[in-house]
Chain A
């Protein structure tokens, strides 16, 4: 019998590539956001709204992650913005290797802002650094105000929280103040936005924030 003492992070390979990604993104002077939410919270809609407001001010690119289909990439492509679709074929999260390979197709475009839309999932994406500058977690008012308490890691690891679909508040049993309170109990430094991609409420505040991050 021999015992070998080791001290190695299980995700060391991912983290190493994520750091290389981050160096590359910074060298390109591009701000990168990793958007994480449950399926159907409005990640793609939020990206579309951001593009509509900012496309004349910033050069934006998008990496889309989905288990199947390139439907999201089609939506972004329709806005005339460069997009790469990653199809994970069942995997529940993006990793740094997938993002590195996808970014090769955007590398020569001199982008200012890159959105990475993760696979819809509040659990696994929290563990994987992609090389982004910040994670943004999005929840919609239809999901209930207890989500931060149920999925604390992603709320802890994000710098901003977008509470989306606030136009539905009259119709759903959701208390936005409770979402904020629960989220702050996990991460007291979260920047919180309330948006509706249908009525555009809150989108200009969100886009001001994006601009301030890029510059």
Chain B
């Protein structure tokens, strides 16, 4: 349960884009959250709401873009989308795979009411 810490880091990043003291508010913040990033989206949304309620960002919406876990097979180059994190190529069953997507945890877009 480190989603509240993660929500706090998101808020700190958004602050960098807010002009000082002229009443501009944040409408929404878009984040990429990989399926293999150990984050529960509902808990992240909850943490974000609680923390923004007590800040100048009250009412800002957190939009979570979930990114599937995909791996590339070193053996046969096939790209598999994994529904669960069992790291095998779906085609040749090799465990020799590298993660392409699914570990993302980043802020991608901020929308301001101005």
The interface of chain A, by Cβ under 8 A from chain B, is: 1-14, 91-93, 95, 123-124, 126-128, 149, 152-153, 156, 184-188
Contact = CB atoms under 8 A, between A and B. Distances in A.
B63 interface: no
22 contacts: A1-B111, A3-B110, A4-B17, A4-B109, A4-B111, A5-B108, A6-B109, A8-B107, A10-B31, A91-B5, A92-B1, A92-B2, A123-B2, A124-B2, A124-B38, A127-B37, A127-B105, A153-B85, A184-B95, A185-B87, A187-B87, A188-B95
Interface residues of B, number: 30
Interface of B: 1-2, 5-6, 9-10, 12-13, 17, 27, 31, 36-38, 85-88, 95-96, 105-114
A4 B110 contact: yes
Given A11-B9, A123-B38, A1 B114 contact: yes
A3 B13 contact: no
Contacts, number: 87
Nearest to B29: A6
A8 B87 contact: no
A123 B1 contact: yes
B46 to A, nearest CB: 16
Nearest to B104: A9
Contact of A10 (B106, B109, B110, B111): B106
Nearest to B24: A2
A156 B85 CA distance: 9
Nearest to A91: B5
A181 to B, nearest CB: 11
A153 to B, nearest CB: 5
The secondary-structure label for the interface of chain B is mixed
Given A2-B112, A124-B1, A124-B2, A10 B9 contact: yes
A93 B1 CA distance: 9
A185 B95 contact: yes
A14 B83 CA distance: 29
A5 B109 contact: yes
B10 A10 contact: yes
Counting chain A CB atoms within 10 Å of each CB, which of B10, B12, B27, B87 scores highest? B87
Contact of A1 (B17, B27, B87): B27
Contacts of A188: 87, 95-96
A152 B2 CA distance: 16
Nearest to A123: B38
B112 A4 contact: yes
A153 B87 contact: no
Contacts of B6: 10-11
B86 A185 contact: yes
Contact of B12 (A2, A4, A13, A153): A13
A92 B87 CA distance: 27
Contacts of B85: 152-153, 156, 186
A195 B105 CA distance: 35
